[in-house]
Structure 1
Amino acid sequence: MPTDDKATKSERDAAAKAVLDNMARLKAMRLAREAVSPPAPAKKKAATKSGKTSSGKTSSSKSTEKAQALAAWLADQRSGGRRT
């Protein structure tokens, strides 16, 4: 039985090394790509003095709508028998 433990450990180590090597390769590729063409700066949404966004809704009403939609969804999940 000890040889099975060694074999599974070496397989696990080889798989972990393969994952780490792949992550390092992908990171190097991403850094090289970003060095050639740096990412564009993030665009900020321009808000008017009244606090409205370009769609005409205030940012607080948008978050309120999302909160209400989430609350409705959670209530529906509870009524359906799903417990979180």
Structure 2
Amino acid sequence: MVENSKDTARARADLRFKKQEEAATVRQKAMAEYAAESDARQAKTNKLRALRLAKEAEDLANAPATPAKKPARAKKKIA
């Protein structure tokens, strides 16, 4: 009987250990996926930022130097 209870306790402990190991594996996998998504998002953001800055620099280089100002209108005299 003592032997049987030891076996039962050992089986429960093994089962609990396996569940903990599975949970740890699932957590590690989820964190790895989260990190990969975060890295991909950051890379995409950096790429888009670089493209935007390049376009802004190109637009600034191709913009006319200064727009021609219209002459000021003469003020009307009130008679």
TM-score for both structures, normalised by structure 1: 0.45
Between Structure 1 and Structure 2, which shows a larger proportion of helix residues? 2
User: Which fold has the larger relative contact order, with Cα–Cα distance below 8 Å and residues 6 or more apart in sequence?
Assistant: 1
TM-score for both structures, normalised by structure 2: 0.47
